[in-house]
Amino acid sequence: MKNGTTQGVYYDITDLAGIGRRLLILLIDSIALVFLFLMLLLVTVFVDVDSIFEMYWIFCLGITYLYLAVLPVTSLGTVGYIATGVRLVNLHGQKASIWQSTFRFGLVVFGPLNILGDIIWLGGDPNRQSIRDKFAKTYVVRRNAVPTGSAPIRYKTYYMFNYNLMFAEVERPQIRT
């Protein structure tokens, strides 16, 4: 705490994953998940269980959770994170928690936000955060990125989807031209 405010870090704009990198991550991770689902389907062909269909979908959800929520907060990351050289951090520049990553995962899988809305939002956000990043208080940054500086974390109000929402953001210094 400094002067009654919580401090966070900000990154150079080039260190934040933009829309192109995010789309590439989405494509690579989607392909990786489809491959994992097909491998699981191949295994289920040899299993003689009455409720195999239900078990398959439960395992698919479990694999999706492990891949999209747990792997991003490990030092390894998903295949998409590895290929694009990014990592998931919180507003303090530390590795995001499993709870933050689970929350991000839940917003994509269970809604009400969807990937298309996330990508559209990302295109106009000055901090290159998707809506789920704003809710989870995370950034997707280059793997070797270091914070450019620190600044107070403030709550900003956004009006979207007929809702007034408040997000915690690091208040970047204004660039003077």
Q: Please report, for the chain, the start and end positions of each structural domain, with discontinuous segments joined by +.
A: 13-147
Tens-place pLDDT, residues 104-163: 999 888 776 677 778 888 888 888 998 889 999 999 999 999 999 999 999 988 887 787
Tens-place pLDDT, residues 17-42: 999 999 999 999 999 999 999 998 88
pTM of the shown model: 0.86
Helix (H, G, I), strand (E, B) or coil at 5: strand
Q: Which long-range contacts (CB under 8 A, 24 or more apart) does 134-137 make?
A: 134/158, 134/167, 134/169, 135/103, 135/104, 135/107, 135/167, 136/96, 136/100, 136/101, 136/103, 136/104, 136/107, 137/90, 137/91, 137/100, 137/167, 137/168
